[in-house]
Chains A and B, each alone.
Chain A
Amino acid sequence: MTELPPKAIGALQRQETRLAWGMLAPSIISVALIVILPLLAIFWISIKPVELADLRPPTPLAREALRGKLNVAGDVANIEYRLRNSHSTRPLASVELIDQIPEGLALGELDPRCDLVGASLRCDLGDWDGGHRERLRIPVTATESFVAGETDVRESVALVTGDSDNVLANLQFTVKNFVRIFEARDFWSVLWATVFYTVFGTIGALVVGLFAALLLNKSFAGRGLLRGLFLFPYVAPVIAVAFTWVTLFDPFSGSANAMLQQMGMTENPINFFGERPLALIMVTVFEIWRYFPLSFLFILARMQSVDSDMFEAADMDGASPFQKFRYLLLPQLLGILSVLFLLRFIWTFNKFDDIFLLTGGNAGTRTLTVNVYEQAFAVSDIGAGAAVAVVIFCCLLIFSLFYFWALRHEEEL
């Protein structure tokens, strides 16, 4: 750095700073809302006993019906409230029912929990356990004025209210989520799948991308066309290509099996996405197939900015083609290769869609990210899903610490 930052901040500078933050504010705020807040929420949820069913908090429900007929004055019937707690396990506290009794009805003996003030009936129903159900009957007798008025007893809606303890907001904590995921029998298999998929997927995509870039690093007719073609796997929607692979490698009706059988390479159909350990290899191959274009694109762009003088000089000195690649081109590509490795490593580690669509995480292909979904939605245990997410986050933290450590050492060299 040649220029020194000014010591005192002038008015113009202050104005510019204000303007800059003002222009950045919408981006920062929106990203914070959608990224930082959910991240904090994940940490909170991971130490709470939350299940999928808890997203619908317990509410008291009431259905009002008239049992009997009130056609003539003096008819006796019951107004019946069918009451229940919507949640099967969580309790409700101090439930209260309020309803208007139509004019002209004489009430019989009231339930001890209820009393009538004017025309409004108020019942104090106490605490309900999860899944609580009951019927509350109010005996009524019709009078002349009720029959003449032809009113429906259900005209006024019965209101029930109750306090529920929201498990997301209370202070009840647990470490069960973490214990459960670490003790799960398949935890180590999940970790192994993640490591295999990430390492081989990243390196594979990088090597294949480098090969493709070397092919197109000379000019020939149709090169532009091929470059576009090579990018297809990356540009097409993941859902389209993933389902195509599933169709292609289907054990019963897939073309790949039919082809292998016809060529005499296999007797029985191979279940590519349903067998251990083949499924894990297949999802890794898919990952390489889908993401080699990205490495290809960046490596090719870097290759084309390499100075050609150097190669001419090397030619004069009699360097062989492999030597030119090894000692001239590769060192130039090292920067972009290491950046791509780092980015692809993290993104492959974070990848969810591909495996989810190909195998759904079956046959030994469940990586950590797929495990988040599996725990939260298939097992309906959101707390455990969040705990897996926290584990993922810690891994990413370690990666980035390692990255910054490597970066510092690089500078020292």
Chain B
Amino acid sequence: MKPLQRGYIAGPVLLLLWSLTLVYSIAIFVTFAGGAPARPFLPAVIVVGALAGIGALQISGLAMLAGVSAIAGALLSLLGIGPLQFGGEFSQLAEAVVGAFVVPAISLTGRLMLQGTAWGELNRHEFEEAVIRFLTGFGLVFFIVIVMIPFFVMIATSLKSQQELLQNPLDYSIDLSKGWDLLRSYRELFADFMFGSYLWTSFVVSVVTVIVTLLFSIPGAYAVARLRFRGRREFSQSILLIYMVPMIVLALPIYMLFSITGLRNSLFGLILIYPVTTIPVALYILQGYFRGLPFEVEEAGLMDGLNRLSVIRRITLPLSLPSIASVSLYVFMIAWNEFLLAFMLLDDPSTFTLTRGVAMLNSSEIPRQHLMAGAVIATIPVLALFLGLERFITKGLTAGSVKG
């Protein structure tokens, strides 16, 4: 670490890495958004980054730094050795304009990173803080890019036609002049592939799963949280052990049993199984909540002559409505996203759930944009639900686990 702890080395090295991060992300973004063939020119990216590091440390005026980098960027691009190059129809001049924006972007953000970093010897604090600022910048860009790209590709592909996709797999620009025709894949899914019915089936199955799970797990969670009985501690510790058993191991005998009894291809069969996969986790989360509720209120109820069941109904349940809501959402998400059992137990397209319907679209005869449209249809409800109630869900999920 020691030789790195000098401003004139740390600065250029960090900004070189930052320049790589930034230029490659911009290239990906520009390519996807406009279909323009953006190509980073690696030697230039490295040199520009290193020079930006020196500039950010040596040039004190902000405007001066921006000006110098803009001119340098434009000149490099005019000479054909700019960090970000476009082939074909792009004129040299347009490329210079891009260069005049990209290079200052590197040097100005880089200056933020090298805030308080001196040119010469750095102490440990200054050096580490600069590294951390770089890692923060890099991390934010990195995570946003890796999370967004698949979702962006999913949506953008679903709006394309087969021909456009084959012509240029990089062009995801949306041609608004097509109007409603953009949604052609979706219309065809609903009209020809019964996606309306799958959507409804998935909804019904998920809601029934939530209801059954709650009916089973609320009394159980209450018993574990409040009642004294032998084996209670062992029970509450081993509830989650059930999840050690892989689903595929259970799915095999269930498939055999359902084949023999004729429960395959029936939603009733699916609804028999789904709640069991969610009851243990619901029970575990709920008992954590119940434990956190003040017992005194319940005690008062007991003293006033209520029996246990009416205490639960009149006191505990109203108090724990938020937790019950978050458990319901979580269970709904599990049931909505479930794929393996639906895939194994349903063969008849009239009984498909949404995930099973999307799996059916994965064939060489069905165009990719239909598959992606199906994926979007399956994703949107659950993401919308999640975004709307995110705080709720994450709090519920992490509540039991972070106590100590």
Contacts and interface: CB of A to CB of B under 8 A. Distances in A.
B149 A248 contact: yes
A55 B227 contact: no
B146 A346 contact: no
Contact of A31 (B260, B276, B337): B276
B180 interface: no
Contacts, number: 266
A24 B393 CA distance: 25
Interface in B144-181: 144, 146-151, 153-154, 157, 165-166, 168-170, 172
Contacts of A31: 242, 276, 279-280
A235 B382 contact: yes
Given A247-B157, A263-B39, A382-B252, A30 B279 contact: yes
B333 interface: yes
Nearest to A372: B248
Given A301-B398, A320-B128, A353 B143 contact: no
A352 B248 contact: yes
A373 interface: yes
B355 A34 contact: no
A237 B143 contact: no
A17 B308 CA distance: 13
A253 B252 contact: no
Interface stretch (B57-65, B108-116, B314-322, B373-381): B373-381
B73 to A, nearest CB: 19
Interface string B317-334: 000000000000000010
Interface stretch (A104-112, A129-137, A224-232): A224-232
A13 B230 CA distance: 10
A243 B276 contact: no
B139 A34 contact: no
Interface stretch (A94-102, A148-156, A172-180, A385-393): A385-393
Contact of B401 (A27, A168, A239, A298): A298
B136 A21 contact: no
A156 to B, nearest CB: 26
Nearest to B342: A239
Q: Interface extent on B, as a size class?
A: 35 or more
B336 interface: yes
B294 interface: no
A232 B383 contact: yes
A243 B253 contact: no
Contacts of A241: 150, 154, 375, 379
A345 B224 CA distance: 28
B232 to A, nearest CB: 7
Interface string A365-408: 00001001100100000100110010011001000100000000
Interface string B354-376: 11001100100000100110111
30 contacts: A16-B227, A16-B229, A17-B227, A17-B228, A17-B230, A20-B229, A23-B222, A38-B252, A41-B253, A41-B257, A233-B147, A235-B382, A235-B386, A237-B382, A239-B339, A239-B378, A241-B379, A244-B151, A244-B375, A247-B372, A255-B169, A262-B37, A262-B170, A321-B132, A350-B245, A352-B247, A353-B340, A357-B339, A389-B248, A389-B249
Interface of A: 13, 16-17, 19-21, 23-24, 26-28, 30-31, 33-35, 37-39, 41-42, 45, 55-56, 168, 211-212, 214-215, 226-233, 235-241, 243-245, 247-248, 253-255, 257-259, 262-264, 289, 297-298, 301-302, 305, 320-322, 335-336, 339, 346-347, 349-353, 357, 369, 372-373, 376, 382, 385-386, 389, 392-393, 396, 400
